[in-house]
Structure 1
Amino acid sequence: MQLPRLQSAALLRRYKRFLADIELPSGEVITIHCANTGAMTGCGEEGDTVWYSTSDNLKRKYRHSWELTEKANGELVCVNTARANQLVHEALQQGKIAELAQYKTIKPEVKYGTENSRIDFLLQANEPQTALADCYVEVKSTTLLTESAVGMFPDAKTERGQKHLRELIQMRQQGQSAVIFFAALHSGIQRFQVAEQIDPHYAALLKQAHQAGVQLLCYNCDYRIENAIPTALWLNHAIPIQL
């Protein structure tokens, strides 16, 4: 996925969930929008390098958006949660997710379930004669990294995430296929583990979903750097999941 043109600055603080103050190389301080509503543990600390994009929409109150964080060790983290769905959509279209490559029809944001949910992607086979069930795919942006290169989700308690797991379990009970897809957007993540210490209820539901036949996938990502500026990222390959 090609990234918008990015510029860098130093993070001063993140506040009110959606806002962050950054210091430009010129010394000017500006406020930018942050699309990530999570805790952003380890990827939004004072002094981190922020890579931000600029919108052409002059009506926006905050024209700049926080896209990536660069850590002191050079690791990159995509903190714009909207990018996770875009990455997965692109990979599905290109057949890059081997476990889901048999599906040819991709329908984003489809209403489903008994709790008034929208599935990120409904996948269907093109051939009506096939016995392949519809597949419901829920995507989760994963940025929390432990010292042992393990990525974790969630980084905060998530009632919304719990609801999604209940919905996927119901889809399996109805004979459909279901997938929870963790997009590991921190370049340091090499393995995945549910963050039981942060949200034990989510962890218990994830294990219940797995036992019910919901498929768990986690793919890491790669970044392209040109002239010291991140210009693109893409899903790379599946990494091990430990429940």
Structure 2
Amino acid sequence: MIYEDIVEGVFLERPNRFIAKVLIDGNPETVHVKNTGRCKEILTEGTKIFLQKSNNPNRKTKYSLISAYKKDMLINIDSQVPNEVVHEAIIQNKLPELIDLNYVKREQKYKNSRFDIYFERGNKKGFIEVKGVTLEKDGLSMFPDAPTKRGTKHLEELIDAIANGYEGYLFLLIQMNDIHKFTPNYITDETFAKTLMKANDAGVKILCYNSLVTRNEITIGKKAEVLL
């Protein structure tokens, strides 16, 4: 996934989940934040950030905050991009677990949920739910960074799909380089963590990969270990 029209800036503050105050070329600017999660350990005053300039004259904000440095590590915080990265990797046969698919479709409804990817492989059909991971502590990535009833619901629906003959995958995309382990964030959302273990026991396959992140691109990286 390649971004166009990327500019560098400095983060100042985040008045609410949707906007941030930043400096671009020394000038103050209000920008859109493409992640409604907390990101408190990433978005701190003075942090170097990258933003995408919009060519839509009707937008209230000219820029969207795409990524930010946490010390020396660049983290992509765009919550919309993981689906694109995983779909691209599947189409390009970069994921050994998901090769030779006969059919791939984005956004497929199943009962009360809408999964990110639907696929067919031989006589098998399945769903993939993608979650972007931006929280990291001491080399360990975690999800979620805020309680997520929606995430728990997706896991429960994947369990139901497995019971009805589908294959089910939860794909965790770590949106940063060189992080090789993942664990659910029990402290922030114990219900999600326990449901993830339940899903694993029910046959939902849990995949986790890190990413190759630069100022204007994010692509699939290497497989990471899942610690439940």
Q: Does TM-score exceed 0.5, indicating one fold?
A: yes
TM bracket, shorter-chain basis: over 0.9
State the one-letter code of the partner of 1:239: A
Match status 1:118 vs 2:114 = yes
Match of 1:164 among 137, 151, 154: 154
- Note if contact 2:175-2:213 (Cα within 8 Å) is conserved in structure 1: no
SS class of match (1:160): helix
Distance 2:190 2:126 in 1: 27
User: Are the counterparts in 2 of residues 41 and 155 from structure 1 also a CA contact under 8 Å?
Assistant: no
Give the structure 2 partner of residue 87 of structure 1: 85
Instruction: After TM superposition, give the deviation of residue 35 of structure 1 in Å.
Output: 1.8
> 1:102 Cα shift?
2.7
More strand by share: 2
Tell me what 1:242 maps to: 227
- Distance in 2 (CA, whole Å) between partners of 1:30 and 1:103 is 45
Q: How high is the sequence identity, in percent, across the aligned residues?
A: 32
Inter-partner Cα distance in structure 2 for 1:204 and 1:29? 43
Which residue identity does 2:204 align to in structure 1?
A: V
Indicate yes or no: 2:138 matched with 1:140.
no
Aligned residue identity for 1:221: S
**In structure 2, the residue corresponding to 1:220 is in which secondary structure?**
strand
Structure 1 CA distance for aligned equivalents of residues 51 and 84 of structure 2? 17
Q: 2:220 corresponds to which letter in structure 1?
A: L
* Residue of structure 2 equivalent to 1:55: 54
Which residue of 1 is the match for residue 21 of structure 2? 21
Tell me the secondary structure at the aligned position of residue 83 of structure 2. helix
Deviation at 1:89, TM superposition (A): 1.1
User: CA separation in 2, counterparts of 1:85 and 1:120?
Assistant: 7
What SS class does the counterpart of residue 217 from structure 1 fall into? Answer: strand
Cα deviation per residue 1:188-226 (whole Å; 9 max; x = unaligned)?
Answer: 5221011011100000100000000000000001134xx
Q: Is the 8 A contact 2:125 2:167 kept in 1?
A: yes
Residue deviations 1:11-60 (CA, integer Å, cap 9, x gap): 001122000000123x2100000120111132211111110001111001
CA contact (8 A) 2:108 2:117 kept: yes
The whole-number CA distance in structure 2 between the counterparts of 1:4 and 1:85 is 18
What CA distance in whole angstroms lies between the structure 2 residues aligned with 1:41 and 1:207? 27
The CA deviation at 1:5 is 2.3
TM-score, with length taken from structure 2:
0.96
SS at match of 1:57: coil
The separation in 1 between residues aligned to 2:102 and 2:47, in whole angstroms, is 41
* Structure 2 segments unaligned to the other structure (5+ residues): none
Amino acid at match of 2:32: H
Count of equivalent residues: 228
User: After TM superposition, what 4+ stretches of structure 1 lie above 4 angstroms from structure 2?
Assistant: none
1:227 corresponds in structure 2 to: none
The aligned counterpart of 1:78 is 76
Tell me the equivalent position of 2:63.
64
Letter in 1 for 2:108: V
